[in-house]
Amino acid sequence: MNSYFAASGKLVNELSSLSASLLSGAGGNVDSAAVSDLHMQWNEAVKGLEPGLTAEGKSLCAGLEKSVSQGIAALNEYNKNQAQGLLWEVQDSMMSFLAGQKSLLSLLS
């Protein structure tokens, strides 16, 4: 469980910070390799977490995976056309992820 929450924190921090920085006009490049690596680590951590979860917990994890995938997809699309609306999609996905993770924490406690 600790590796899952550590990986989640790193991924959410990276995606939220990166999109907020780009939205503020600070510029910079999206390090797709770093984001992809964090995403892979997070996916592995989820796989380790899921076997001990109830059906409800697994359903919450599916929602978390959807939120992360949407955020990653929006960031990848941003790399292609620099539309700021895509950065807002990243932010929205991370907010959905955090809400889902809160529900998961409630279920686990």
Residue 97 pLDDT greater than 80, yes or no? yes
Calpha distance 16→84 (Å, rounded) = 14
Q: Which range (2-16, 22-36, 54-68, 84-98) has the least confidence?
A: 22-36
Residue 6 pLDDT greater than 90, yes or no? yes
Calpha distance 68→93 (Å, rounded) = 7
The alpha carbon of residue 37 and the mean position of all alpha carbons in its chain are separated, in whole angstroms, by 12
Q: pTM here?
A: 0.87
State pLDDT tens for residues 30-57.
788 889 999 999 999 999 988 888 999 9
**What is the model's pLDDT at position 27?**
67
pLDDT tier at 106, thresholds 50, 70, 90 = very high
